[in-house]
Amino acid sequence: MRAFIPKSESELAGIIADAEAPLRIQGGGTRPFGRPVNGTRLSTSGLSGISLYEPGALTMVAGAGTPLAEIETALDAEGQRLAFEPMDHRGLLGSSGTPTIGGVIAANISGPRRIQVGAARDHLLGVRFVDGMGRAIKNGGRVMKNVTGYDLVKLMAGSFGTLGVLTEVSLKVLPKSRATGVLLLEGLEDMRAIEALSMALSSPYEVTGAAHVQKGLDGDPVTMIRIEGFEDSVAYRAGQLQKLLAGFGDFTVETDPVKTTAGWQWVRDVAPFHGRVGDVWRLSVKPGDAPGIMAGLPGTEALYDWGGGLIWVLSSENSPLSAGDITRAMAGNAGHATLIRGEASNGAFPRLSPAIAMLHAGLRQQFDPRQILNPGLMEPAA
């Protein structure tokens, strides 16, 4: 099938202005969730490259189609990183391709560190995009503090290409930590594990990762707490946390950089669910509600991140998890759920209240009046 691969923002603007049928916007194509879009593929891969990187200003500007790996390599050379730790969906979704920074931003993809440093959208300083009428628009800039006009930067993050096609993003980057410590404990029940994570996150010890995996590598539940910083500080805080959490059991501390990195990539990418059959849902909830919600989903398996605030749910092999099942389990609890892997032809995103749905429709009408940009992708799961 024919595809559009513009090499410049103005070429992209021309393509959208001239488009007479829906376009399927694609970064690296590694995150195929949401309702499938029928349309001509429009790839941002031609809008690639880092145009500005100032380590001393903690700022990077790059084309939307820039491979994430290229960005991470450049940052690594200066001892910096994307602090929001974007997840790689390829293992979970069985997709191939090259993740791009535009895709990360369009889907507002964050990882375990989100709980301390914020989401992708919190590290986005500015955007350039082309709207559904083919107009090139800029918003925000490349400075940390900016309240000049409406914050469309946040709006574009997580809009999945339904309001415009990103062409360039400005990012706040942060220094890498010199040392990492991970506290580990096996065997906790969900409820106890979430209590332990809450206690750690409510301490002054700056926890940057708090996860509980129901079935760890050896099949037993494992609770993981991460701290990062300078060597002495990490050692001090690890010790303090061990004391604080002694009532839950004896947490061990892992500081081997290879192992700690691999361990948190395993959580970030939801590796325990890779290669297994079943639907996968992603729930964002109040951490303390998480075990109760899971109790309402018998036969499923969970990986809790963000201290319990993020639940990855895998259905059993032979019984798919419907939107109705999830809604029943979440009834009376704040939060929302998205179908990440499974039959999505009837939609995959959370259902919105009528008033909010009307605002969504109104914004789409303004940004893309012909409804040609990823139409229907964010439809609620039926």
Nearest 5°: the CA angle 314, 319, 321 is 55
Nearest approach, Cβ of residue 203 and another protein (Å) = 6
Nearest CA-CA partner of 42 in 67, 66, 68, 65:
65
CB 42 within 8 A of CB 26: yes
Taking the least distance from each CB to another protein, the nearer of 103 and 287 is 287
Give me the amino acid identity at 118. Answer: G
Nearest approach, Cβ of residue 149 and another protein (Å) = 5
Taking the least distance from each CB to another protein, the nearer of 178 and 274 is 178
CB 161 within 8 A of CB 65: no
Q: What are the backbone dihedrals phi and psi of residue 3, each rounded to the nearest 5 degrees, phi first? A: -140, 150
Give me the amino acid identity at 78. Answer: E
The answer to whether the Cα torsion of 80, 86, 90, 91 is positive or negative is positive
Nearest approach, Cβ of residue 304 and another protein (Å) = 13
Nearest approach, Cβ of residue 35 and another protein (Å) = 14
**Tokens in use for 357?**
């749905």
Rounded Cα gap, residues 338 and 367, in angstroms: 24
Task: Give the 3-state secondary structure percentages of the chain, helix then strand then coil, rounded to 5.
Answer: 30, 25, 40
Rounded Cα gap, residues 381 and 341, in angstroms: 12
Taking the least distance from each CB to another protein, the nearer of 45 and 177 is 177
Nearest approach, Cβ of residue 96 and another protein (Å) = 27
Taking the least distance from each CB to another protein, the nearer of 216 and 307 is 307
Taking the least distance from each CB to another protein, the nearer of 217 and 359 is 359
CB atoms within 10 A of CB 9: 18
**Tokens in use for 227?**
């701290």
Nearest approach, Cβ of residue 316 and another protein (Å) = 26
Nearest approach, Cβ of residue 175 and another protein (Å) = 4
Taking the least distance from each CB to another protein, the nearer of 36 and 362 is 362
Taking the least distance from each CB to another protein, the nearer of 5 and 363 is 363
